[in-house]
Amino acid sequence: MSDARPALTTLSEDESSFREAIRDFAEGEIKPLVNTMEEKAQIDPQLIKKLFEMGLMGIESPEQYGGANSNFFMACLAVEEIGRIDASVSVMVDVQNTLVTNAFLRWANQGQKEKYLPRLATDTVGAYALSESSSGSDAFALKLRAEEKSDKYILNGHKLWITSAGEAGVFLVFANLNPDKGYKGITGFIVERDFQGFNVGKKEHKLGIRASSTCEITFENCEVPKENIIGELGKGYKIAIETLNEGRIGIGAQMLGIAQGAYEATLAYTQNREQFGKAIAENQGVQFQLSEMRTALEASRLMVYNAARLKDAGLNFVKEAAMAKLYASRTAEKICSMSVDLFGGNGFTNEYPVEKFYRDAKIGQIYEGTSNMQLQTIAKMELS
């Protein structure tokens, strides 16, 4: 059988070297901690420090802010390679780069960039706070309210399912400043963890990505300085939409990594597991399943890479991002399910990695836009 590693023919020399460096880091620093982090449902704090030291939390940030001064495609490569080992660490890197840092780079004023980008690149985890109990797919039905009061804004309400909230020091929060205007009243705010009236609540116990903290956050007369508005008043909806369009490519990359990890584990297992006197990989039925897995994996990779390349080129990528997330998330679940099947009874135990890949894959069809929302986006753009 051929090598399970993906072909690198579409990558430049720098991109290939970057991928190899991230793969070595993931194998050497993340993999030994995966089981412990899964059991504790927490990403190792020392590992988070190493993510910053490796420059993985500020991939697109300019060097003047302590970042790596790279591009979106490189961020997706990092998310993919880390996802191949652990989806929880992968989504932390993903949110930090494709959502939080990306939003600061595009929408923050110069003062905000100088204050926050160095922190986000070197030592502070960021979180993106949009979802609420009443506003999941209907993102603009949010009820978090902001009220102007002298030199500050007062926020009241709560958010749910906020990724990395347990570790984050800076939150990009969306609240409605003028409900009478509907979604045109939504405004973005930069909220620091120690702001008065802000609190990180309970952590969700989840099916997958268990080490990733997913928490409720509450605002009880939370005081936010006026200079912490990001973008224009009433234009938060624009920031939210456009940032999520980019973030969906990152989730596609995460799903790609999960699928790759499951496939590699399965390929090795089928070559070593013997039944009826021969490796099960020698059975044509198993070979066909492996071929189906590899083909879907490569199709997903092309879609994710294409969307990321379009984004970096400044071309319209919204439909391609939706397609990439839709297809890659479905592929990850399919490949991981087939992996469990091919592992047999062993695949149903946590002594082997595929049951975790299977659990981790499901979230890809839910967060940063459900599969139905991706279908709606694709159809809308096709029919416009």
Place of tokens 């989840």: 206
Give 373's contacts (C-beta < 8 A, 6+ positions apart). Answer: 137
216 is catalytic: no
Q: Write down the H helix ranges in 71-186.
A: 72-83, 87-94, 102-107, 110-122
- Residue in 15, 264, 368, 382 annotated catalytic: 368
Q: Write down the H helix ranges in the chain.
A: 13-25, 34-40, 45-53, 72-83, 87-94, 102-107, 110-122, 236-272, 284-312, 318-343, 354-361, 371-383
User: For the chain, how far is it from start to end, CA to CA, in angstroms?
Assistant: 46
- Closest C-alpha among 135, 199, 137, 127 to residue 162: 127
Neighbouring-strand partners of residue 143: none
- Closest C-alpha among 52, 60, 14 to residue 311: 60
DSSP letter string, 153-198: EEEEEEEEEEETTTT-SEEEEEEES-GGGGGGGEEEEEEETTSTTE
Which residues are annotated as catalytic? 368
